[in-house]
Amino acid sequence: MAAFCRGRHRWKRTNCWHVLTRNLTGKFDYDLVVIGGGSGGLACSKEAAQLGQRVAVLDYVEPSLQGTKWGLGGTCVNVGCIPKKLMHQAALLGTAVKDAHKYGWQLSGPVSHDWSTMADGVQNYVRSLNWGHRVQLNDKKVKYLNMKGSLVDEHTVRALSKAGKETILTAKNVVIATGGRPKFPANVPGAAEHGLTSDDIFWLKKSPGKTLVVGASYVALECAGFLTGIGLDSTVMVRSIALRGFDQQMAGLVTDYMRAYGTRFAWKCVPKRVDKLSSGLLQVTWTDTSSGQEHRDAYDSVLWAVGRAPESKVLGLDKLGVQLNPETGKIVVAADESTSVPNIYAFGDIGEGRPELTPTAIKAGRLLARRLAGHSSELMDYDNVPTTVFTPLEYGCVGLSEQEAERRHGSDGVEVYHAFYKPLEFTVAERDASQCYLKVICERGGAQKILGLHFTGPNAGEVTQGFALAVKCGATYSHLLQTVGIHPTCAEEATKISITKRSGLDATVTGC
Ligand code: FAD
Ligand code: NA7
């Protein structure tokens, strides 16, 4: 340790000595230091403090390339779930205004949307959450440092403030929950220089205008969906398929609905370059890979939603031998969130193979805190995690996709019950319900255990959450049929579902 300090580190001798004495006496400044104050890190640190642990949490936001920055709370609060769902709500209200005419509302004059009113409301709400998180940490006696953390050894964290002030903290255990950041594509000149990502879109003061969204995973579709919904010309550029990893029949319904809703799609297209024109518009050149032809169009904004990656390099993990997946940069973790180095744990978006979702990060963080405090040995169960894609037609699911169920059980081992239904609220409004669909994937033999449930329709998150409990409890097809529906709802269709895909019968629900 002494040699380590003398030769390789810049911090003051007093600090160095401080580290040395703490380690030799077995006393640390903290029981737990958490690097990253996002969904997972905050949950972990608050839980640990509640169990009597001495805890510090470091959170530091490196501004985006466009200069966007935000406060405490991580991706979900600032540049993810929360602003996204609120802007999705803005878009849904646009549809509701159209429906309202049919329901008798007399709305005089043209209806239009004002970006800055929406953005102000959303951004102010996010700021209130930032403040709420600070207050909670204070109340729970968690030491919060707005500093960038990196590891010195398995018990020592170096924290650096924006002004360059260095602080050394020692801890019995160190937890890394630093999440990820949006990527830019390699080899597309002008992409990073002129492009936005989800780190910027929610914080724009002015409307992004005509927007090209590149990428086809749920972040891309959700952003393009709400932009269309508030009246902007938006195009999704899809390199291969939409919603990779999700059930592909459901992905088709989601994109079909979006197309009918007004979102444009450039299928099988890859961007080549982005140039800023003298008009200020961004000219995007792309290749249509099915024809090999090159195309061009001008946009006000280009939003890259081509995946996320952790900034694991700055954490100093390589020096300590913390094993990373070289392809993703994520930390290799065991079932108990331990890394390859004792006393260092990692979870949430930075954990290799973990779902990139807030509730899993929160739950995993709480459980880890309890285990580290010696209060429990319960592990996080990552099976049957439900999720919802908040596209104009929402898509909720839990369990396996039909493709994955067939891969695991064979197509003869799986029974799929399905129904095309019409939400009651669509009727008077004369809305097309062609993509409102529900399917329940069951084991074909035995008690017909439910393997997966997929739903497109209004309030898909609310619908799916309850069924997720049933799936977690090992529900079977007959449990579903024994359940009494709530009438009139969309979710009740699940309790009546009887047409199998195998039968080839028309799955359209008729009557009540
Ligand atoms: P994060 O929340 O990313 O927190 C990590 C924190 O650590 C950040 O504040 C970061 O700045 C900080 N940090 C990084 N490095 C350091 C360092 N060296 N020192 C100090 N601090 C550091 N999930 C859902 O469940 N539902 C949704 O609807 C949903 N929508 C999303 C929409 C978008 C557009 C995006 C991008 C994500 C969405 N997610 C959603 C995913 C969700 O936001 C993440 O899964 C979740 O935030 C991960 O939590 P985390 O604690 O692992 O990391
Ligand atoms: P994902 O889930 O990693 O998806 C990335 C998408 O971007 C996917 O459709 C990719 O197509 C596409 N992609 C990737 N690189 C390119 C390039 N160079 N050009 C065009 N298209 C590209 O990323 P998201 O940002 O949507 O979401 C990440 C997580 O954040 C998500 O799980 C949420 O939890 C929050 P492909 O399928 O590879 O052809």
User: What's 203-254 look like in SS3?
Assistant: CCCCCCCCEEEECCCHHHHHHHHHHHHCCCCEEEEECCCCCCCCCHHHHHHH
Quote the ligand 1 centre to 133 CA distance (angstroms): 15
- Active-site residue, 418 included: no
Amino acid residing at 511: G
DSSP assigned state of 261: H
What is the whole-number distance in angstroms between the Cα of residue 179 and the centre of ligand 1? 5
CA of 307, nearest ligand number: 2
Q: Residue 16: which pLDDT band, with cuts at 50, 70 and 90?
A: very low
Q: State whether the beta carbon of 386 lies less than 6 angstroms from ligand 1.
A: no
Instruction: Answer for the pair 346, 331: CB distance below 8 angstroms, yes or no.
Output: yes
Q: Rounded distance, CA 213 to CA 228, Å? A: 11
Selected residue with higher pLDDT from 23 and 402: 402
Q: Give the pLDDT of residue 510.
A: 87
pLDDT band at 26 (very low <50, low <70, confident <90, very high): low
Which phi-psi region, left, alpha or beta, contains residue 504 (left: φ > 0; alpha: ψ -120 to 50)? left
Residue 429: both structure tokens together: 């409004």
Q: What value does the mean pLDDT take over residues 81-99? A: 97
Is residue 179 within 6 Å of ligand 1 at its C-beta? Answer: yes
Q: Give mean pLDDT, residues 333-357.
A: 98
- Can you give 20-85 as a three-state secondary structure string? HHHHHHCCCCEEEEEECCCHHHHHHHHHHHHCCCCEEEECCCCCCCCCCCCCCCHHHHHHCHHHHH
**Which one of 18, 194, 479, 487 is the catalytic residue?**
487
Strands 395-399 and 450-456: antiparallel
Q: Is the pTM for the entire model greater than 0.75?
A: yes
Ligand 1 centre distance from Cα of residue 252 (Å): 28
Q: Could you tell me what percent of the chain has a pLDDT over 70?
A: 95
In DSSP terms, 453 is beta-bridged to: 398, 440
Average of per-residue pLDDT across 412-428: 98
- In whole angstroms, give the CA distance from residue 435 to residue 490: 13
Cα separation, 66 vs 403, whole angstroms: 39
Q: What is the pLDDT of residue 344?
A: 98
Residue in 134, 145, 358 to alter for ligand 1 test, most ligand atoms within 8 A of Cβ:
358
What DSSP assignment string belongs to 136-198?
HHHHTT-EEE-SEEEEEETTEEEEE-TT--EEEEEEEEEEE----EE---TT-TTHHHH-B-H
Residue of 494, 499, 468 whose CA lies nearest to 397? 468
* pLDDT attached to residue 108: 86
**Ligand 1 binding pocket includes 356 (Cβ within 6 Å):** yes
- Identify the pLDDT of residue 96: 97
Asked whether 357 lines ligand 1 (CB < 6 A), one says yes
Return the ligand number nearest the Cα of 84.
Answer: 1
| Assigned token pair, 224 | 């393009």
pLDDT of 6 above 50 = no
What does the pLDDT average to over 476-487?
A: 97
Q: Cβ < 6 Å from ligand 2: which residues?
A: 185, 214-220, 239-241, 244, 270-271, 305-308, 356-357
What confidence score (pLDDT) does residue 127 get? 98
Res. 20: pLDDT tops 50: no
Ligand 1, pocket-test mutation among 146, 160, 178, most atoms within 8 A of CB:
178
Both tokens of residue 206? 């002015």
What's the 27 CA to ligand 1 centre distance in angstroms?
32
Tens digit of each residue's pLDDT (9 = 90 or more) over 144-166: 999 999 999 999 999 999 999 99
pLDDT of 21 strictly over 70: no
Q: Tell me the average pLDDT across 450-465.
A: 98
User: What is the overall mean pLDDT for the chain?
Assistant: 94
**Residue 361: nearest ligand to its CA?**
1
User: How does pLDDT run across 209-245, given as a tens digit for each residue?
Assistant: 999 999 999 999 999 999 999 999 999 999 999 999 9
Confidence of residue 110 (pLDDT cuts 50, 70, 90): confident
Confidence of residue 512 (pLDDT cuts 50, 70, 90): low
Q: Nearest CA to 306 among 448, 183, 469? A: 183
Helix axes 39-50, 358-372, angle to 10 degrees: 30
Write the CB contacts of 159 (distance below 8 Å, at least 6 apart in sequence). 58, 145, 147, 148, 149, 166, 167, 168, 169
Q: pLDDT-derived band of residue 275, with 50, 70 and 90 as boundaries?
A: very high
Beta bridge partners of 171: 30
